[in-house]
Structure 1
Amino acid sequence: MLQAAKDTCFSPRQTLRCPGGRVLDLRRPQVMGILNLTPDSFYAASRVGAVADQSDLLRRAEAMLTAGAAVLDLGGYSSRPGAEHISEAEEKQRLLPAVEAVRRAFPEAFLSVDTFRSGVAAAAVAAGADILNDISGGELDADMFATAGRLQVPYVLMHMRGTPQTMSTLTDYPDGLLLDLTRYFRDKLAALRAVGVADVVLDPGFGFAKTAAQNHELLGRLRELHLFGLPMLAGLSRKSMLYKPLGLTPEAGLPGTVAVNTMALLNGVSLLRVHDVSEAVQTIQLVTNTFSPSSS
Structure 2
Amino acid sequence: MTINCKGKIIDLSTPRVMGVLNITPDSFYDGGMYKDEASILKQVEYMLNNGATFIDVGAYSSRPNADHVSEEEELQRILPIVKLILNNFPETLLSIDTFRSSIAKACIAAGAAIINDISAGKLDDNMLTTVAEIQVPYIMMHMRGTPQNMQSLTNYEDLVKDIIFYFSERITAARDLGIIDVIIDPGFGFAKTLEQNFELLSKLEVFKMIEKPLLVGVSRKSMIYKTLETTAKEALNGTTVLNTIALQKGASILRVHDVKEAVECVKLIEKLEVRS
TM over 0.5: yes
Cα distance per residue 1:55-95 (max 9 Å; x no partner): 11111000000000000000000000000001001001110
* Pairwise CA distance, 1:25: 1.8
State the AA in 1 paired with 2:11: D
- SS of residue in 1 equivalent to 2:13: coil
Look up the match of 2:75.
Answer: 92
1:181 aligned to which of 163, 175, 178:
163
Residue 35 (structure 1) aligned with residue 21 (structure 2): yes
In the alignment, the residues of structure 1 paired with residue 86 and residue 132 of structure 2 have an alpha-carbon distance, to the nearest angstrom, of: 22
State the AA in 1 paired with 2:140: L
Q: Is the CA contact (8 Å cut-off) linking 2:51 and 2:263 kept in structure 1?
A: yes
Q: Is the CA contact (8 Å cut-off) linking 1:35 and 1:47 kept in structure 2?
A: no
- SS of residue in 2 equivalent to 1:133: strand
Q: Is the CA contact (8 Å cut-off) linking 2:22 and 2:34 kept in structure 1?
A: no
Question: Structure 1: any 5+ residue segments left out of the alignment?
Answer: 1-13
| Structure 1 range deviating more: 80-89 or 104-113 | 104-113
Look up the match of 2:250.
Answer: 268
* Pairwise CA distance, 1:48: 4.0
Matches within 5 A, 1:140-219: 140-174=123-157, 176-219=158-201
In the alignment, the residues of structure 2 paired with residue 234 and residue 49 of structure 1 have an alpha-carbon distance, to the nearest angstrom, of: 23
- SS of residue in 2 equivalent to 1:189: helix
- SS of residue in 2 equivalent to 1:245: coil
Cα distance per residue 1:232-289 (max 9 Å; x no partner): 0000000000011221110010010000000000001000000000000001111110
Look up the match of 1:18.
Answer: 5
If the length of structure 2 is used for normalisation, what is the TM-score?
0.98
- SS of residue in 1 equivalent to 2:226: helix
1:49 aligned to which of 9, 26, 34:
34
Q: Is the CA contact (8 Å cut-off) linking 1:35 and 1:48 kept in structure 2?
A: no
Look up the match of 1:240.
Answer: 222
In the alignment, the residues of structure 2 paired with residue 41 and residue 66 of structure 1 have an alpha-carbon distance, to the nearest angstrom, of: 24
1:280 aligned to which of 256, 262, 273:
262
Cα distance per residue 1:182-226 (max 9 Å; x no partner): 110000000000111000111000000000111001001111111
2:107 aligned to which of 124, 131, 134:
124
State the AA in 1 paired with 2:128: F
* Pairwise CA distance, 1:123: 0.4
In the alignment, the residues of structure 2 paired with residue 133 and residue 47 of structure 1 have an alpha-carbon distance, to the nearest angstrom, of: 21
State the AA in 1 paired with 2:236: L
Residue 64 (structure 1) aligned with residue 50 (structure 2): no
- SS of residue in 2 equivalent to 1:185: helix
* Pairwise CA distance, 1:47: 3.9
* Pairwise CA distance, 1:49: 2.8
Look up the match of 1:8.
Answer: none
Question: Structure 2: any 5+ residue segments left out of the alignment?
Answer: none
- Structure 1: which 4+ aligned runs deviate by more than 2 Å? 46-50
State the AA in 2 paired with 1:245: T
In the alignment, the residues of structure 1 paired with residue 3 and residue 190 of structure 2 have an alpha-carbon distance, to the nearest angstrom, of: 25
- SS of residue in 2 equivalent to 1:246: coil
- SS of residue in 2 equivalent to 1:140: coil
CA root-mean-square deviation: 0.9
In the alignment, the residues of structure 2 paired with residue 23 and residue 59 of structure 1 have an alpha-carbon distance, to the nearest angstrom, of: 27
In the alignment, the residues of structure 2 paired with residue 57 and residue 231 of structure 1 have an alpha-carbon distance, to the nearest angstrom, of: 28
